[in-house]
Amino acid sequence: MTDMAIRSMKDLPSAHLLGAGTSMCAGCGGLQAVHEIYDILGAKTVFVNAAGCMTLLSTYPFTPFRGGWLYTSMASASAGAQGIRDALDILRAKGRLAPEEDMTAVVLAGDGSTYGMGLSATSAAIERGLDFLYVCYDNEGYGNTGQQCSGATPHGARTATNARGFSGAKKDLFAIWVAHRPAYVATVVGAEPLDLAKKIQRAAGIKGPRLITALAPCPTGWDYDPRETVEIGRLAVRTGVWPLKEYVDGKVVHTKIPRPRLPVEDYLKTQGRFAHLFAPRRNETVLAEIQAGVDAYWAAIE
Ligand SMILES: Cc1ncc(C[n+]2csc(CCOP(=O)(O)OP(=O)(O)O)c2C)c(N)n1
Ligand code: SF4
Ligand SMILES: [Mg+2]
- What 3-state DSSP class applies to 207? coil
Reference 220, options 141, 114, 108, 154; nearest CA is 141
Provide the percentage of residues in the chain whose pLDDT is more than 90: 89
Is the C-beta atom of 52 inside 6 A of ligand 1? yes
pLDDT digits (tens, 9 = 90+) for 29-71: 999 999 999 999 999 999 999 999 999 999 888 888 989 999 9
C-alpha 83 to ligand 1 mean position (Å)? 22
pLDDT digits (tens, 9 = 90+) for 215-247: 999 999 999 999 999 999 999 999 999 999 999
C-alpha 141 to ligand 2 mean position (Å)? 10
* Smallest-distance ligand from the CA of 140: 3
8 Å CB contact between 6 and 189: no
Q: Could you give phi then psi for residue 284, rounded to 5 degrees?
A: -60, -35
Sheet holding 104-110, edge to edge: 68-72, 45-50, 104-110, 132-138, 209-215, 184-189, 244-248, 251-256
- Report d(CA 114, CA 139) in Å as an integer: 11
Q: How confident is the model at residue 188 (pLDDT cuts 50, 70, 90)?
A: very high
- Report d(CA 13, CA 9) in Å as an integer: 9
For the full predicted model, state whether its pTM sits above 0.85: yes
- Report d(CA 45, CA 107) in Å as an integer: 10
Q: Is 242 exposed, middle or buried (0-12, 13-18, 19+ CB in 10 A)?
A: buried
Are β-strands 244-248 and 184-189 bridged in parallel, bridged antiparallel, or unpaired? Answer: antiparallel
Question: Alpha helix (H) ranges present in 119-192?
Answer: 119-127, 173-178
Residue nearest to atom 2 of ligand 2 (CA): 218
pLDDT digits (tens, 9 = 90+) for 4-23: 444 443 444 433 455 554 57
**Best mutation site among 54, 144, 150, 159 for ligand 1 pocket (most ligand atoms within 8 Å of CB):** 144
How many Cβ atoms from other residues are within 10 Å of residue 236's Cβ? Answer: 23
Residue nearest to atom 13 of ligand 1 (CA): 142
Question: Alpha helix (H) ranges present in 11-148?
Answer: 29-41, 77-93, 111, 119-127
C-alpha 86 to ligand 2 mean position (Å)? 32
* Smallest-distance ligand from the CA of 71: 1
C-alpha 195 to ligand 1 mean position (Å)? 29
Closest-lying ligand 1 atom to the alpha carbon of residue 117: 1
